[in-house]
Amino acid sequence: MPSVSNKVHDVIPSGGNFRTQLKVRMDLIMKALHKTLAIAAVGAFSFAVNAQARDYVSIMGSSTVKPFADLVAEEYQKVYTGKFAAPVVEGGGSSAGLKEFCKGEGAGTIDVANASRQIKSSEITACAEAGVSKVIEIKIGYDGIVFANPVSKPAFAFEPKHVYLALAEMVPVDGKLVNNPYTHWDQIDSSFPNQEITMYIPGEKHGTREVFEEKVLGVGCEDTGGYDLQLKANGDDKKAAGKACFKVRKDGRSVDIDGEYSETLARVESNPDGFGVFGLSFAENNPDKVKVATVNGITPSLETIAKGEYPVSRPLFFYVKGAHVDVIPGLREYVEFFLSDDMVGDFGKAIDKGLIPMPADELEQVRSNFKNGVTVGS
């Protein structure tokens, strides 16, 4: 074969050197090809073994809880060096995490689902149908949601009704529901400056949106009498009236942000008249860029949220597969480590990161629930 090819090479004019170079290269490529096929075959066999056992804790879910889970996993990894492998924490959102969680049991599925809301009954059913019967709920603390605008702008003192009037699609004016007519804050309350209304709120897929709707729009809707008017308009259908209260205006003054808080920050920076809805820790990390507004006269802080004075807050959770505890190495230790005082106690590291601690007796209850394997729905 080589002799034939050499002859042909001679027939083709010019560049013989170049061609032999290529020939050598081609041979190398063919050799590499053989090798890679062999490696691929080995890889295909090894996964079968790998799927049997997993030696690390697999976590997925809420992007609000993720920074705390990341932090705990990092500290856990430092403490358990050489004993247990470091956990792997994925984001994706509460719903995506719980969906993955409820796919079934076994090393191929995740052990822990982070959630910025409580598990829904439909999700518990889905879990049970897939054979995930023992779901343990772990509350880790609270998260505060704040309104913030650039430091260069005047400070605001909000009440839920102000935000509702500024953002809702339909607002009550003189006892009637009308399309939102407000364009400037001073039209809503004369104590506010004459500043254009724009607010960057979390998008529909955020767990934060739910809290924003319930604790701000919903409360504002009732305070202003909008809820009663909605009831009338919807024929006393409470569910429909509630939903109508949550509807935000679509004329560009209420902007849904589907990304992270950093995107909200960028929007507020480019439009200083705008307000952003942030997690408390995000705002506290950027004190030179934004300042937070009070709600009902309460400044959001660790203390006011932990005491329940600041109204816009919510509990954060993660869910553990009971059947995986003591099977996946390090899972029990991870949960216990998460609930230790060093992490979520009053002066824990997660608290330093912006998690709001729960009262000591509540924390004690969560710990004993986990110890006794108390499952959701039992």
Which residues of the shown chain bind other proteins in the complex (CB under 8 A)?
1, 4-5, 7-8, 11-12, 15, 18-19, 22-23, 25-26, 29, 33, 36-37, 39-40, 43, 46-47, 50-51, 54, 56, 58, 60, 63, 66-67, 69-71, 73-74, 77-83, 85-92, 108, 110, 151, 259-262, 279, 281-282, 284-288, 349, 353-354
Shortest approach of other proteins to residue 252 CB, angstroms? 24
In whole angstroms, give the CA distance from residue 127 to residue 131: 6
Q: Which is nearer to other proteins, 40 or 361 (CB)?
A: 40
Residue 54: CB minimum distance to other proteins, A: 7
**What would the 3-class secondary structure string for 75-109 be?**
HHHHHCCCCCCCCEEEEECHHHHHHHHCCCCCCCC
Q: Would you say 217 or 351 has its CB closer to other proteins? A: 351
Cβ at position 79, least distance to other proteins in Å: 6
| 150 vs 315, beta carbon nearer other proteins | 150
Q: Shortest Cβ distance from residue 350 to other proteins (Å)?
A: 10
Which residue reads 């605008």 in tokens?
149
β pairing state of 176-179 and 58-61:
unpaired
Q: How far is the CB of 346 from other proteins (least distance, A)?
A: 14
Residue pair 181/89 in contact (Cβ under 8 Å)? The answer is: no
Residue with tokens 């990390």: 285
The DSSP code sequence of 317-365 is EEEEEGGGTTTSTTHHHHHHHHTSHHHHSTT-HHHHTTPBPPPHHHHHH
CB atoms within 10 A of CB 142: 19
Q: Which is closer to other proteins, CB of 185 or CB of 261?
A: 261
Minimum CB distance to other proteins smaller for 86 or for 323: 86
Minimal distance, residue 59 CB to other proteins, in Å:
9
